[in-house]
Amino acid sequence: MKLRRLGQTLPREVEIISHQGSVISARIDDQTIRAILERTADGSFMIRIGSHRVRINAVRSKGSILVAAGPASFEFKAVEAAESRPRIGLASPRVEAPMPGRVLKILVVEGAEVGAGDGLLVLEAMKMETTLYAEGAGMIAKVLVVQGQMVDHGDTLIELSPLRDSSNAESPPRGR
Amino acid sequence: MYHKPSAALNTGSPPRACYFQASAGDCTGCGKLDATVPTGKIKNLLVANRGEIALRIIRTAKVEGIRTIAVYSEADAGAAHVAAADEAVLIGPPEPAQSYLKGSAIIAAAHANGADAIHPGYGFLSENEEFARATLESGLIFVGPPPRVMAALGDKISARRLAAQAGVPIVPGIEASDLQSARMFAQRVQYPILIKASAGGGGRGMRVVVRLEDLEDSLESASREARAAFGDGRLFIEKYLARPRHIEVQILGDGSGEIVALGERECSIQRRHQKLIEESPSPAVGHELRARMCEAAIRLATRSGYRNAGTVEFLLDGDDFYFLEVNARLQVEHPVTELRFGCDLVAEQLRIAAGERLVEPKRPRGWAIECRLTAEEPEHGFRPATGKVLYLQLPSGPGVRVDSALEQGTVVTSYYDSLIAKVVSYGATREEARRRMIAALDDVSILGVGHSTAFVRAIVASAPFAHGELSTRFIEENSPSSSWAHEHENAALIAAALATGDSKEFSFQSTDSGSHDPARNSSRSSPWSKLGNFRLWNTR
């Protein structure tokens, strides 16, 4: 299966080849890795890879998998087969709220054309301002929120459509 | 090393005679005790804050035999500080403006529950002059500086003026925020320049401007952010120093004119002006520089008539230091000073507020480092993370202190500050404290909410940090990564693959036997929804 870590663009390919007792053989990208799995009293697992041993807890939530590996925290999303195929136009026509917060300022109007790096909207969360930028070119098809509105993580804020004469937009906007 | 207003610096010789005098009148150099400030024995303390700092204050109050009253918003009904206090009062909805910032509700709660004093913690109302004044006027003790001192120092513009009058060096700057003046100032000192909010703190309302084209937008957004955060959009502008270190001096004043300085803290490791890692002492500060900085801090504190705990912040550029601001309250990073001096700054604050005189601090020993763990995802541009804590492990051990209000089941919301834990390590040397910190951070494990622990761990483990080569641009200039992070990612990938059910040996099981999770009883169409959102994976 392909998993993409939140915030990273390249998915990692991971496959459990065999799992016998506590011994796991996994292929990660092109590398085969042997791991030892042990259970702890509090329900966590220790995973040993080589001389490296780390406490693991995991949960699936809202379509992603959260993993605590020692002090490192991961959020993975399974990459659908279709998503890894090259496509034309915008990868995602929707700009979603990367966190819950308040819409402080809308920087674009419907019908406007935007280029990569253009600011779209300013969100306020935890008392900090976060601007969402366009990562590719497109046209603002719809603005679905108004200034001052509270939004939740994952709410669609703006819908983009590809520019008529261009198909070079690649990835969805993200917070910077 | 602690410092007094004059003499005996670094020498270990006994303090000046007036230092231990019970009466302020005996010392001509000292001011009179401020008669307008109510003092007296504190028996019942309302803690006007939440999170780790509320817990921290409640702990000391318990030690001192003081009954505590917590306040909380609807979002914090099950919070650790509510459970820890002797009484807890609901003061309003989750939004800070309607709860933790609502001074009238807090003062009313104090009177209704027999409090004789209010401790504001940090943030929220801690530096709000009107709140302090209203507290005092209602007949309660305010654990903090007098309102007039707070007004003079809390406002960054007036603090700058006061520093200049006290002979403390200040960064070149102007007290104007109109485009024309800003443009002329930038032309004079050259870009980059720094826009700051007069009421500011924690980097809010602050903007670095590197070119003319960004000036107008930056002025506008800084003012907007400052208005939103502090209700005051006034700005001032300074020359931006390229690679300074952030050094601050902890002071205590008892209102008699006596001020002591409890050495310095270095807080250079910052991201967007938010401190991430602090330590005491600073690897950049030697004996002579420490004496100069502490004396400058004391001069400013004396001139302002400072009372209670405060921090004078400086930027250090080579051997030159410049006044930055005064934080007229307890600081987030106060534990590093406590570990070095073997003191309890909250207890000192309570004693001063009760009208007691300062006692001589102990000699500082060793080295202390603090790492702030926040609910932010460094791998995703430090996006604030929210969610419910499903699994929690925090470190302990020799030379390790953790200040946190996080518990298994705590829901981290977007209403409040993202700080979830402070891990503080102590050692005889900086290197021992650093190694203890790495070992402590390796023991942190939090499932359910993204957090910054791996990021600060990478910084502490990096060579430049180990060598003490710090500056406020450390994070921009270094991108610490390690094979350590890579190994963890591989382990996490294997866990994720197992957890998604590719392997028959594994499945998700709920460790949450409670019925408060609505998802548990809803749709049963998919194998995931059957178990709800809160599933830890376990072997059968």
The pTM (predicted TM-score) of the whole model is 0.80
Specify the pairing of strand A94-96 against strand A156-161: antiparallel
pLDDT at B364: 96
Q: Could you tell me the CATH number of the domain that includes residue A132?
A: 2.40.50.100
Residue of B nearest to A27 (CA): B494
CA distance B77 to B69: 14
Q: Which of B139, B322, B128 is nearest to B232 (CA)?
A: B128
Asked if the bond preceding B244 is cis, omega within 30° of 0, the reply is: no
Q: Which of A37, A65, A81 is the last residue of a domain?
A: A81
Record the tokens describing residue B91, joined without a space: 């003061």
Domain co-membership, A73 together with A103: no
Does the CB of B439 have a partner CB in chain A at under 8 Å? Answer: no
Residue B449, chain A, CB below 8 Å: the answer is: yes
- The residue ranking higher by pLDDT, B514 or B2, is B2
Q: What is the CATH number of the domain that holds A10?
A: 2.40.128
| Nearest Cα residue to B399 out of B437, B430, B426, B367 | B426
Q: Are residues A76 and A126 in the same domain?
A: no
Q: Do A59 and B229 touch (CB under 8 A)?
A: no
Q: Chain B 78-97, CB below 8 Å of chain A: which residues?
A: none
Angstroms from A132 CA to nearest CA on chain B: 11
Residue B415, pLDDT score: 94
Cα–Cα distance list, B221 to A128, A131, B255, B328, B346 (Å): 11, 11, 39, 26, 36
A76 and A91 together in one domain:
no
Look at residue B501 in the predicted model and tell me its pLDDT. Answer: 64
CATH superfamily, with its number, for domain B367-481 = ATP-grasp fold, B domain (3.30.470.20)
Q: Which of A63, A81, A99 is the last residue of a domain?
A: A81
- Tens of pLDDT, residues B19-74: 222 223 333 333 344 545 666 789 999 999 999 999 999 999 999 999 999 999 99
**What residues of B act catalytically?**
329
Contact map slice: B 225-264 vs A, CB within 8 A:
225, 228-229
Using CA atoms in the order B413, B419, B421, B427, what is the torsion angle rounded to 10 degrees?
A: 170
Whether residues A75 and A93 share a domain: the answer is no
Asked if the ipTM is above 0.85, the reply is no
Indicate whether A169 and A103 sit together in one domain: yes
Tell me the pLDDT tens digit for each residue of B414-444: 999 999 999 999 999 999 999 999 999 999 9
Residues A159 and A101 in one domain: yes
Q: Say if residue B192 is preceded by a cis peptide, omega within 30 of 0.
A: yes
Assess whether A113 and A165 both reside in one domain. Answer: yes
Of A40, A59, A81, the domain-final residue:
A81
Could you tell me if B377 lies within 8 Å of chain A, comparing CB atoms?
yes
CATH number of B2-30+150-155+242-353: 3.30.470.20
Q: Are residues A77 and A97 in the same domain?
A: no
Residue B540 pLDDT level (bands cut at 50, 70, 90): very low
Residues B446-466 as b or e (16 or more Cβ within 10 Å = b): bbbbbbbbbbbbbbbbbeebe
In three-state secondary structure terms, A40 is coil
Say if residue B447's pLDDT is above 50.
yes
Q: Which residue range forms the structural domain that includes residue A133?
A: 86-175
* Partners of B51 in the β-ladder: none
In this structure, are A61 and A90 located in the same domain?
A: no
pLDDT tens track for A73-111: 999 988 875 444 444 445 467 888 877 788 988 999 988
Half-sphere exposure for A17 (CA within 13 Å, toward CB): 13
Start-end of CATH 3.30.470.20 domains in chain B: 2-30+150-155+242-353, 367-481
What's the average model confidence in pLDDT over B82-93?
98
The mean per-residue pLDDT over the stretch A143-161 comes to: 86
Mutate to test the interface with B, among A27, A49, A74, A150 (most CBs of B within 10 A): A74
- Which CATH number describes the domain made up of B44-143? 3.40.50.20
Say whether both A51 and A101 belong to one domain.
no
Average pLDDT, stretch B73-102?
97
Residue A70 and residue A103 in one domain: no
Tens of pLDDT, residue by residue over B379-420, are 888 889 999 999 999 999 999 999 999 999 999 999 999 999
Please check whether residues A66 and A108 belong to one and the same domain.
Answer: no
Which part of chain B is CATH 3.40.50.20? 44-143
Q: Using one digit for the tens of pLDDT, what is the confidence trace for B311-354? A: 999 999 999 999 999 999 999 999 999 999 999 999 999 999 99
| Cβ within 8 Å, pair A28-B494 | yes
Number of domains in chain A: 2
* CATH 3.30.1490.20 placement within chain B: 172-239
The arrangement of secondary structure in B172-239, i.e. its CATH architecture, is 2-Layer Sandwich (3.30)
User: Is residue B337 packed enough to be buried (19+ CB in 10 Å), middle (13-18) or exposed (0-12)?
Assistant: buried
Instruction: Find out whether A129 and A121 touch, Cβ atoms under 8 Å.
Output: no
Most confidently modeled range among B121-125, B272-276, B511-515: B121-125
Q: Cβ–Cβ of B383/A45 closer than 8 Å?
A: no
What is the least distance, in Å, from the CA of A74 to any CA of chain B? 7
- Amino acid A153: pLDDT: 76
Q: What's residue B24's pLDDT?
A: 33
